[in-house]
Each structure stands twice: as structure tokens, then as C-alpha cells.
Amino acid sequence: MASVGNLVTTNLSLSNFKAPGNGIDLGVVNFDPIVLAGIFSDYIIQGSKVHSLNRDQIKVYANIINPFVGKEDTIVQVMGEHTVACTIPGLMAAGTKFMDAVAWLCIKPENRPLPLVHKPAKDDKMDFVPKLFNVPSKLCSAMFFYYFYIIIRARAPEETTNTKTDPIPAFLSKVLGISETANEVAEYLSSFPLKCIDPAWVKHIDMKAISRESVSRFGLGVAGYRLCSPFKLAKPKEGLTDDLKEAIIVATSFTEAMPCWDFHPATRNPEIIAKYGNINKNLGNLILEVFDDATIDMLVKNKTIFSKPVHDPTATQYRNWNKSMCYKATRPIFPSA
């Protein structure tokens, strides 16, 4: 305390002041943004995916009690009252579809979903034979169909909804003799939509081991290049501005480069989008701007493109394309000889 005349004052020091609120809980929650981002990250990344596979979508069947062809009795997992084969052939022999078997076995044993149990129509289980999806020749054909579809259509087979406007490729039906529809193939392979599986697996298949007939067919129609073709095959209008002429050079470079995994729609590198924008929308706008109506009609008639593009006012990046942006294949789909 200090005395100033008749006035008595007290000197206050914060050195004796303790925690904020002096021990009083103010009820305030402070978030560290870096910690929050770490907590939220997995949820946001998963939520951003248009298609994803959840464990409860996978259907595997437990072994039934009686003996049956291909029954796996040794490599099994006991789940409650039931045993489940832990091999692909064993699961398929019990009625599980191929992709379900693969997905289930890829999950850690303690996290695997419980199996389904066949319910025989008759009381005598010895007479019961489940529906099977394990005919080797049919399975191989279906898997090639799946692979082929991603390469040339950039989507899973079950996403084909109209067989008239989107028919089965002639190579599959006439050359390989596959008579099933795209949906029938998908149903044979999996109980869940194949679009739930990231198609990036296709680029890890050894293309050198694929038959030459198939590789030749791939070369005629890899997905993602149809809208690039007009710039190599048709003559543009006269009097184009320099920026459009340079855009044509860049568009032509897409087809002149070897088919590339980084450019393919199913496996496209995000850097491609950052650099060129939405490829198809920009190419569509460029086609409308550099070709006259008669040329576009000819391109449609010759099936160079499926239909006349619809102008998209948001796709304007092509106006900034220049020669320095000409595309070069970074990850070729087809191996060099």
C-alpha cells in the first residue's frame, strides 16, 4: 500500500495472477485448426468419393454343413456358429461371387462382415446346391469384359443402361463370343456395383500379356480421345484468330501423343485438369468455334464424334492453350515394342 496525501492506494501486480479466469472455468472451447484438420481429413476424403465400397455391401456365404464340391474345410475362419472359407475358390464354391470373395479376403479378419447363410428350400440339406458363379471360362470372359469396358468406355459395365444407344462392342460379342449384356456380366462378377471399385487397377495389368487381337482393338478406341479426333481429321474454318489456332495445335497434340494413363478418363491425373481444365467440355467448345456446321454434321455422320457438342459457357480454358502446352504421354497405355 502507498499513501499519497490523504489518499491510500494499492499497487497491483500480475505476478501473483494465476491461470486465465483465476481458476474459473469459462466454458470456452478453443480449437486448434491443424488438429481439427487431422481429425476431419479421413471423413472428408471418404465423403468426397462419388462411389465407395462399404463392408456391409459385401456378400459372402458360409459353408453349409454337408459336403459339397470344392468345399474348403482347412483354411477357414470361424464366425459364430459358422465357418467361412478363406480362399477365393472355397468362397466361390459356397456361392460367393468373385469380386465379393476378393473384397472380403482383403479385409482384416477381425473386421470382416458376417457371412450369409444359405437357406435350403428343402429340409434335407444334402439335396441343396447353391447357385454358383465359378465357371472358369465364364469368369475369365467376364473379367476381360470388365477390363475392356474400362479401357474403351472409362466406366464399369453396370453403368450401361441402354443397350440400344450403348451396344456391346462388336469385338466382345462377335470375336470373343460373349453373349451376355453388360449388366449380366456385372451381376455374375459381383453383388455390389463394380463402380464402387477404383478403376485405377487397370493400369497395373501387364498389357504385354494381353492377346495381340485385343491390344489392336484397344488401339482403335481408347476412352477419352474421341473429341480430340476432329482436329486431326477435319479442316477448320478460315480466318481463325491466333489463340484458336494455338488451341487447335494443343488439341491435336492429345491424339498425336500415345494413349496415356494420365490422360485416360478413368485414371486421369488431376494435374491434367489443373492445366487444361475439363478436357471434354473445352474440346466441345473448341469444335463449335473452329468448325462450321457442315463439317460438324459430317463428323457426326462419320461417327468421328457421337453428336454435336453443346456449348458450355464455363469451359473457356482452351482460349489460353498455347504451343508450350502441347501434350506428351507420360505413362503410355501400350508398351513399346
Domain containing 297: what range? 226-325
Residues 290 and 232 in one domain: yes
Whether 23 maps to a domain, the answer reads no
Residues 319 and 237 in one domain: yes
Whether 49 maps to a domain, the answer reads no
Segments of the chain scoring below 50 in pLDDT: 125
- The confidence score (pLDDT) of residue 48 equals 85
- The confidence score (pLDDT) of residue 236 equals 96
- The confidence score (pLDDT) of residue 334 equals 86
Do 175 and 120 form a contact (C-beta atoms < 8 A)?
A: no
Residues 259 and 207 in one domain: no
Whether 233 maps to a domain, the answer reads yes
The domain boundary residue, chosen from 204, 220, 236:
220
Total number of domains in the chain:
3
Residues 317 and 246 in one domain: yes
Whether 1 maps to a domain, the answer reads no
- The confidence score (pLDDT) of residue 118 equals 87
Residues 83 and 142 in one domain: no
- The confidence score (pLDDT) of residue 134 equals 94
The domain boundary residue, chosen from 201, 220, 239:
220
Q: 84: which 3 cell numbers?
A: 467361412
- The confidence score (pLDDT) of residue 29 equals 87
Residues 196 and 253 in one domain: no
The domain boundary residue, chosen from 174, 201, 220:
220
What is the maximal distance between C-alpha atoms in the chain? Answer: 113
- The confidence score (pLDDT) of residue 8 equals 61
Residues 315 and 231 in one domain: yes
